[in-house]
């Protein structure tokens, strides 16, 4: 309908597992797997599927999960019965193993399958990049950046990103990991803190004590020891509430532009957590779909292969719009879609009829007060540029 055709000269693949959607973290839990189906529907509604290779992904095997996670942890994740949940509530003192079964990382029916599906999508995407069948591979079901090798954390049980990057490292010398989720990408940063073959860079809201996970300060650049090749290969961009498209875009381009110059990555892994959008249930920023998508657009200008993962995102209709828009960036039809997506959403008609608001060009809702001064943002850029003096490809 919108005349969406394949991009010229490169291939984009979309990796999706429809069986993730029926999984539930619990009624009140902010993580809603149906946002993945919502995204896929929007992508298909615009005909974008005709411009990509579409794969229904397989589940990751135990051995594949074991490439990062310990057997102890995986065995417990596999066996832990959700039936134990009521007992936990009766006995709040009962120890929670591997941080499983609390309110952030509940045990639910089919948990292990759900995790294997998420990791399977990301791993399939990485393999397509490795064997050059794809130049941009999209896995919105992945992006679960907090999981540690023996611990669940912040809605994340299996770190599909780490597993996918380990796959990329088999075929490429250097991987640049970029994380635009509103939370710090601590699990990925930690997993690669002793190698100079992966440089991680997270942009996030930073307020230790009050905002999860509390790590990722400006001076956190990886363990600084003489013998650690990974020193200086963690870059963190700590931000305050209310940052705008304009500020974020400037920051992103100067930080990532410089990293690209110094580190010379062979491939990019971009975590597109959509909780950095305005109006997110957990987030604090004021990014619009266009500003969020501009990050993917800028990364694409480097002309190297790229995986795009999902991640956070707790206002499902906005998550779907952002990831559908970013899919359009990948296949180079964002100019066409740009005009359509922001205004033409399945909810527009309803909202207009109800006269709730006349246009969906902007994510509506009370914008948050912007607590990011130009001076502070300039200091951040300065610090990052200084850090990068120690990084050489
Ligand atoms: O990056 O802030 C925390 C930890 C707590 C406070 C909340 N309580 C429930 C547990 C202890 C210190 N956790 C964060 C985790 C954020 C994870 C982001 C993941 C990602 O986007 C990648 C996917 C947090 N923030 C908000 C909540 N948890 C939260 C909000 C509402 C609820 C409902 C379900 C559960 C309990 C009530 C819950 C958690
Ligand atoms: Ca982040
Ligand atoms: Zn997040």
**Tens of pLDDT, residues 79-92:** 976 665 544 555 55
What integer pLDDT is reported at residue 320 of this predicted model? 93
The pLDDT of residue 295 is: 98
Give the model's pLDDT for residue 367: 80
Query: Ligand 1 pocket, 311 CB below 6 A?
Result: yes
* Ligand 1 centroid – CA 154 distance (Å): 6
Position 343 scores a pLDDT of 60
Ligand 1 binding pocket includes 3 (Cβ within 6 Å): no
Number of residues that make up the chain = 393
Q: What residues does 270 pair with on adjacent strands?
A: 178, 308
Query: CA 391 to CA 216: how far, in whole Å?
Result: 19
Nearest CA to ligand 1 atom 4: 212
The reply to whether ipTM tops 0.95 is yes
> What is the b/e burial string over 83-98, where b = at least 16 CB atoms within 10 angstroms of the residue's CB?
eeeeebeeeeeeeeeb
DSSP state of 317: H
The DSSP bridge pattern shows strands 306-309 and 267-271 to be parallel
Q: Are 101 and 84 in contact (CB under 8 A)?
A: yes
Give CA–CA dist 58/120, Å, rounded: 6
Q: Is 135 left (phi over 0), alpha (psi -120 to 50) or beta?
A: alpha
Residue 91 has a pLDDT of 55
Tokens of 372: 């990011």
Range 222-243 average pLDDT: 94
Mean pLDDT confidence for 261-278: 98
pLDDT at 301: 98
Task: Report which protein residue has its CA nearest ligand 1's atom 1.
Answer: 183
Top mutation candidate among 92, 103, 105 for ligand 1, by most atoms within 8 Å of CB: 103
The pLDDT assigned to 373 comes to 98
Atom of ligand 1 lying closest to residue 26 CA: 34
Closest by Cα among 254, 214, 294 to 374: 254
**Residue linked to tokens 């529907």:** 41
Q: Whose CA is nearest to atom 34 of ligand 1?
A: 29
CA of 189 to the centre of ligand 2 (A): 11
Ligand 1 pocket residue status of 144, Cβ below 6 Å = yes
Mean pLDDT of 63-92: 80
Residue 185 CB less than 6 A away from ligand 1: no
Q: Report the distance separating Cα 387 and Cα 259, nearest Å.
A: 10
| pLDDT for the residue numbered 338 | 72
Supply the DSSP symbol for 388.
Answer: G
Which residues are in the CB-under-5-Å shell of ion ligand 2? 179, 181, 185, 202, 204
Identify the pLDDT of residue 359. 44
* Contact present, 82 and 113 (Cβ < 8 Å): no
At 121, list the tokens: 């999508």
Pocket-testing residue among 28, 102, 103, 104, ligand 1, by greatest number of atoms within 8 A of Cβ: 104
3-class SS at 148? strand
Please tell me the distance from the alpha carbon of residue 50 to that of residue 3, in angstroms, as a whole number.
Answer: 10
CA 352 to ligand 1 centroid distance, Å: 33
CA distance 248 to 295: 9
- State pLDDT tens for residues 190-224: 999 999 999 999 999 999 999 999 999 999 999 98
The predicted structure's pLDDT at residue 87: 47
Q: What is the DSSP string of 67-120?
A: TTS-HHHHHHHHH--TTHHHHHHH-TTSPPGGG-SSSSS---TTHHHHHHHHHH
> Above 50 in pLDDT, residue 360?
no
Residue of higher predicted confidence among 231 and 366: 231
Choose between 366 and 68: higher pLDDT. 68
Q: How many CB atoms lie within 10 A of CB 127?
A: 18
pLDDT of residue 346 exceeding 90:
no
Question: For residues 185 and 182, what is the distance between their CA atoms, to the nearest angstrom?
Answer: 9
pLDDT at residue 183 tops 50: yes
Which of 93-102, 156-165, 351-360 is the most confident on average?
156-165
Average pLDDT on 234-253 reads 98
Active site residue 184: yes
What dotted CATH number matches 12-390?
3.40.800.20
Question: Which residue in the block uniquely carries the two structure tokens 């996970």?
Answer: 213
């Amino acid at each position: 309908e919108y005349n969406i055709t394949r991009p010229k000269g490169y291939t984009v693949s979309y990796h999706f597992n429809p069986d993730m959607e029926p999984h539930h973290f619990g009624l009140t839990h902010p993580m809603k797997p149906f946002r993945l189906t919502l995204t896929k529907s929007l992508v298909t509604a615009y005909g974008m599927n005709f411009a990509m290779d579409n794969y229904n992904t397989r589940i990751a095997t135990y051995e594949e999960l074991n490439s990062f996670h310990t057997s102890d942890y995986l065995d417990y994740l596999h066996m832990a019965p959700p039936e134990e949940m009521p007992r936990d509530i009766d006995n709040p003192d009962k120890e929670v193993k591997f941080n499983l079964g609390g309110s952030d990382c509940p045990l639910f029916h089919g948990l292990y399958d759900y995790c294997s599906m998420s990791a399977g999508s990301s791993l399939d995407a990485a393999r397509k990049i490795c064997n050059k069948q794809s130049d941009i591979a999209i896995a919105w079901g992945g992006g679960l950046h907090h999981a540690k090798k023996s611990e669940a954390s912040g809605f994340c049980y299996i770190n599909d990103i780490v597993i996918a990057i380990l796959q990329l490292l088999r075929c490429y010398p250097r991987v640049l990991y970029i994380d635009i989720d509103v939370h710090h990408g601590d699990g990925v940063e930690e997993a690669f803190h002793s190698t100079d073959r992966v440089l991680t860079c997270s942009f996030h809201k930073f307020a230790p004590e009050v905002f999860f996970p509390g790590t990722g300060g400006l001076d956190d650049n990886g363990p600084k020891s003489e013998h650690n090749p990974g020193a200086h290969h963690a870059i963190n961009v700590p931000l305050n509430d209310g940052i705008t498209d304009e500020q974020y875009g400037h920051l992103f381009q100067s930080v990532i532009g410089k990293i690209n110059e110094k580190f010379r990555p062979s491939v990019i892994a971009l975590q597109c957590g959509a909780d950095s959008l305005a109006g997110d249930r957990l987030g604090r920023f004021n990014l619009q779909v266009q500003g969020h998508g501009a990050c993917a657009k800028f990364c694409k200008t480097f002309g190297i292969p790229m995986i795009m993962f999902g991640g956070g995102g707790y206002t499902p209709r906005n998550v779907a719009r952002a990831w559908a828009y970013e899919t359009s960036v990948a296949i180079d039809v964002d100019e066409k879609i740009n005009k359509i997506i922001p205004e033409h959403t399945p909810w527009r008609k309803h909202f207009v009829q109800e006269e709730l608001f006349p246009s969906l060009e902007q994510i509506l809702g009370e914008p948050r007060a912007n607590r990011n001064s130009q001076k502070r943002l300039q200091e951040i850029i300065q610090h990052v540029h200084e850090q990068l003096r120690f990084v050489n490809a």
